[in-house]
Structure formats: C-alpha cells, structure tokens
Amino acid sequence: MINPSEALERLRKGNARFVANELSRSVSKLERARLASGQNPFAVILGCSDSRVPIEIVFDQGLGDLFVIRVAGNIVAPSQIGSVEFAAQKFATRLVVVLGHTQCGAVEATIDELQRPAEKQSRNIAAIVSRIRPSVMDLLECGEVMDREELIRQAVRENVRYSSNALRHGSDIIEDLISKEEFLIVGAEYSLDTGVVEFFDGAP
C-alpha cells in the first residue's frame, strides 16, 4: 500500500514529465496479461469528462495505476462516493484527487443558468448543474464585481473545493480513514493552456 504523501508525489512527478513532453509510459502485452488477474491503483482521480483532460496521460501513469472516476463538472453524487469507498476498501487506495480544469464547460453552463435561466433544460443536465450551483452561488452573492472570465476561473476552483468537501463528509468509511490520518483528499486544477496540475486544496 502506498501512503497518501507518496502517491501525491508520484502524481506530481508524472505531471512534470507530461508538461516537459517526457512521457515514460507504454503498454505491453505482458502488462495487460498481468493486470487481467487484478489491480492495485495507488490513487483515485475524480475528474471531469472533458476530452481535453485524459487523466492517465496528464499524470504519465499506466494501466492499473489510477482508479479514474469521470463525470461532467467533477461533481460528487452517491455513485461517485461509492466508487471512492470501493477503491479504499477493495484496493486500499489512500489518495483521492478531485481534478477540475480551466474553462470547464459544466461550470460555464451553471453560470449561464444562474444568470439567464433557460425555459427548458434536460432534467439530467439539470442534475449536474444543481450540484455545481452552490459553489457558483457563493461567488455571485459575495458582492465582488468580476468579469465573466474571472468568475469562471474562481468558480472552477470553488467547485473543486465543494466536491472535495462533499467527499470528505459524505461517507462514514472515508471520514473514519481521514480521522486516522490514513486517507487524503486533495483538490487540484489542470490548466488546458500549460498542462500543469496545481494542487491547491488540502495538499500537504
């Protein structure tokens, strides 16, 4: 079992290789065959579904290294919490990274819905927007005047913080592991422009 600090350092180094265009990972038949019998991921990544943020590539990791959960807006619902619990119990994975990214379309859609409500919206998309809404509302109600670009930038980070806290306090299993200092949940943001992942919430 890799402890949370070691797992985080592995992700930092992998992202540094990605940014430097020095990717080290390839997949062999032998590796695929070995993993057919089981897995041992060292970190869980809860990320956005955006096609521009391929998780394993961004962190220069291979098959079986990461337990990846992807959903638009990197939101947290019961299914995501259950997936994290599964990794923690089944594989003893001890690090979770909630990974948002710049120019997130789900966050932008939430801002648009709050500022200019649509007459009709898919109830399924509305379910995503409703989970991002609280983090955006906090910014809109704080009284600070921001242009749209700055609002999106801050909302992306607030949404990551909101999702991270929802994971920290949404499960007795996770809360127990955190209380024993055996589990770490960290919020991060991926830059579409630079490829850099910045860990900014809960990172040691």
- At 143 the pLDDT is 65
Whether the pLDDT of residue 119 is over 90: the answer is no
Question: Mean pLDDT over residues 52-60, rounded?
Answer: 97
Domains along the sequence of the chain with CATH: 4-102+160-201 (3.40.1050.10)
Whether the pLDDT of residue 141 is over 90: the answer is no
Mean pLDDT of the chain, nearest integer: 93
Question: Mean pLDDT over residues 14-31, rounded?
Answer: 88
- At 82 the pLDDT is 97
Whether the pLDDT of residue 36 is over 90: the answer is no
CA distance 39 to 133: 36
- At 142 the pLDDT is 76
CA distance 54 to 73: 14
- At 140 the pLDDT is 80
Whether the pLDDT of residue 155 is over 90: the answer is yes
- At 114 the pLDDT is 85
Whether the pLDDT of residue 138 is over 80: the answer is yes
Question: Mean pLDDT over residues 87-99, rounded?
Answer: 97
The DSSP-derived string for 91-156 is S---EEEEEEETT-HHHHHHHHHHHS--S---HHHHHHHHHHHHHHHHHHTS-----HHHHHHHHH
- At 53 the pLDDT is 97
- At 121 the pLDDT is 75
